[in-house]
Amino acid sequence: MANTRSDWEQRFQSLTLEGRAFIDGQYRSALSGETFECMSPVDGRFLANVASTDEADANATVIVARKAFESGIWARLAPAERKRILIRFSDLILANQEELALLETLDMGKPISDSMTIDIPATANAIRWSAEAIDKIYDEVAPTPHDQLGLITREPAGVVAAIVPWNFPLIMASWKFAPALAAGNSFILKPSEKSPLTAIRIAQLALDAGIPKGVFNVLPGLGHTVGKALALHMDVDVLAFTGSTAIAKQLLIYAGQSNMKRVWLEAGGKSPNVVFADAPDLRAAAQAAASAIAFNQGEVCTAGSRLLVERSIREQFIPLLVQALQAWKPGHALDPATTVGAVVDQRQMESVLRYIQIGKDQGAHLITGGNRTLEDTGGLYVEPAIFDGVTNAMTIAREEIFGSVLSLITFDTEQEALAIANDCIYGLAAGVWTSNLSKAHTFARGLRAGSVWVNQYDGGDMTAPFGGFKQSGNGRDKSLHAFDKYTELKATWIKL
């Protein structure tokens, strides 16, 4: 087992990096022969030439996926059998945990300990959870008159395409392919061009587990080429997306311009984390607030990027917060002790640094962090930053930075806190800290957000749905609700 940075470096030497698409059970180059270079943000090393698939590959893959679906080889398999195969897939992911963790870290920059303890186990768990559910879900019989039998059944939707981001490459993908495959669909995964390697690798594991060829396909490539082609395709039944709100809106247009495919969107966020003076434990609140912005380099859709603190405790709270953030130090992403890894690419790093400059220019007060660091590694590292004196009108409080930049906003009353929390185009998540039970409930009810955490931040597992209000999207990943996205509801009336 790899325990040190040099163990991981050694492990890297023995890796075979696959960059081709996976279509109909085989690795294939893009039909055009085009590739793009995949470089590591950890230290700038070259990783692989990756197939840059486009419309031609999308068309060919949809035909393959449709054929697999119509054949019934997967869609008509007994749910218990699909369960068995998917559990094997989950086990294979765990059996290859080190290799997948290394790929995830090198590809997108997150700390190796996170990849090992969070990303890969959570992916395996998402698959297992959906697999275990699928042979326990019953259809319905309608309360009909005596001479009728009304069956309400769920059927797999058909060909599902998923377009996913780079911040949790495998987890985001698994939240979609696990329920979609369990429900019997054929699946085409378009990973982010910034982090395609683990998606490509697990396609082989899916086949090894027994998922028939053509049922699980991976098309690496750019958004405006292969992503757009899938979104505009007349024979894709469902498009599941996680990514930015700007692209999510574009996908709704593509669906309208093509076949009205079902479009499920999990988009951006600018989540408020509200600390009242009567929070049960201010130190715990400060630690959670630090983790909410520094974990995964702040590249988290639910990052608690707006920290609302009641005026009467702010002087007490700020030192606790600064101290808590010190536990989050950028370090080489392959070092197992590292808690903050590299920013995904140069463009994203420049964007984060630009927002930090905007914060300063608009009069917010940078109290810690905010500099590029560890340049000698050849990687892209930025210190987590806290701005005090932020108003909710400032750019850094309104726009999703998707980096470790925290805006601290002070409030006086509960009413004011709720107004600020909801004054946002997004509605993905929110936190509230109070020991008053009634206030916790009323405040949580007032928040326009898909997930609310009370006296914690970022809790949850596969059992509850995850998704957003407002411009954070419409779909819900995880839980039994996720199956709704990948199935059609049919009513069959039988005259008795």
Catalytic residues: 266
Site residues for ligand NAD, 116-135, by CB under 6 A, read none
Q: Which is nearer to ligand NAD, 400 or 414 (CB)?
A: 400
Q: Which is nearer to ligand NAD, 136 or 224 (CB)?
A: 224
Structure tokens at 151: 């069956």
For residues 263 and 94, give the distance between their C-alpha atoms in angstroms, rounded to a whole number: 31
Beta-bridge partners for 491:
152
Beta-bridge partners for 150:
493
Q: Measured from the CB of residue 93, what is the shortest distance to ligand NAD in angstroms?
A: 20
Residues 330, 142: contact at Cβ < 8 Å?
no
| Residue 53 binds to ligand NAD (criterion: CB under 6 A) | no
Q: Measured from the CB of residue 491, what is the shortest distance to ligand NAD in angstroms?
A: 31
| Residue 242 binds to ligand NAD (criterion: CB under 6 A) | yes
Q: Measured from the CB of residue 270, what is the shortest distance to ligand NAD in angstroms?
A: 9
Residues 219, 57: contact at Cβ < 8 Å?
yes
Site residues for ligand NAD, 388-427, by CB under 6 A, read 400, 402
| Residue 231 binds to ligand NAD (criterion: CB under 6 A) | yes
C-alpha torsion angle, residues 149, 152, 153, 158 (rounded to 10): 120
The closest alpha carbon to 400, from 300, 295, 291, belongs to: 300
Q: Measured from the CB of residue 343, what is the shortest distance to ligand NAD in angstroms?
A: 12
Sequence-ordered list of residues with C-beta below 8 angstroms from that of 282, at least 6 positions apart, any chain: 275, 313, 316, 317, 320
For residues 271 and 447, give the distance between their C-alpha atoms in angstroms, rounded to a whole number: 10
Residues 327, 149: contact at Cβ < 8 Å?
no
| Residue 460 binds to ligand NAD (criterion: CB under 6 A) | no
Q: Measured from the CB of residue 472, what is the shortest distance to ligand NAD in angstroms?
A: 6
Q: Which is nearer to ligand NAD, 110 or 190 (CB)?
A: 190
Per-residue contact flags (x/-) with ligand NAD for residues 134 to 173, judged by CB under 6 A: -----------------------------xxxxx----x-
Site residues for ligand NAD, 268-297, by CB under 6 A, read 268-269
| Residue 183 binds to ligand NAD (criterion: CB under 6 A) | no
Structure tokens at 194: 């910034």
Question: Which of 228, 233, 261, 478 forms a contact with ligand NAD (CB under 6 A)?
Answer: 228
Residue nearest to ligand NAD (CB): 223
Q: Which is nearer to ligand NAD, 116 or 229 (CB)?
A: 229
| Residue 449 binds to ligand NAD (criterion: CB under 6 A) | no
Q: Which is nearer to ligand NAD, 193 or 383 (CB)?
A: 193
Question: Which of 428, 430, 440, 482 forms a contact with ligand NAD (CB under 6 A)?
Answer: 428
Q: Which is nearer to ligand NAD, 248 or 285 (CB)?
A: 248
| Residue 267 binds to ligand NAD (criterion: CB under 6 A) | yes
Question: Which of 296, 384, 473, 483 forms a contact with ligand NAD (CB under 6 A)?
Answer: 473
CA distances from 379 to 193, 333, 339, 355 (A): 18, 9, 15, 20
Q: Which is nearer to ligand NAD, 25 or 269 (CB)?
A: 269
C-alpha torsion angle, residues 75, 79, 83, 85 (rounded to 10): -40
For residues 440 and 443, give the distance between their C-alpha atoms in angstroms, rounded to a whole number: 5
Question: Which of 41, 109, 214, 227 forms a contact with ligand NAD (CB under 6 A)?
Answer: 227
For residues 227 and 163, give the distance between their C-alpha atoms in angstroms, rounded to a whole number: 7
323 burial level (CB within 10 Å; 0-12, 13-18, 19+): middle
Question: Which of 224, 249, 311, 441 forms a contact with ligand NAD (CB under 6 A)?
Answer: 224
Residues 270, 491: contact at Cβ < 8 Å?
no
Sequence-ordered list of residues with C-beta below 8 angstroms from that of 333, at least 6 positions apart, any chain: 42, 105, 106, 109, 110, 111, 112, 341, 342, 379
CA distances from 297 to 47, 110, 294, 348, 446 (A): 21, 7, 5, 11, 29
Q: Which is nearer to ligand NAD, 267 or 440 (CB)?
A: 267
Q: Which residues bind ligand NAD (CB under 6 A)?
A: 163-167, 172, 190, 192-193, 222-224, 227-228, 231, 242-244, 247, 250, 266-269, 301, 400, 402, 428, 468, 472-473
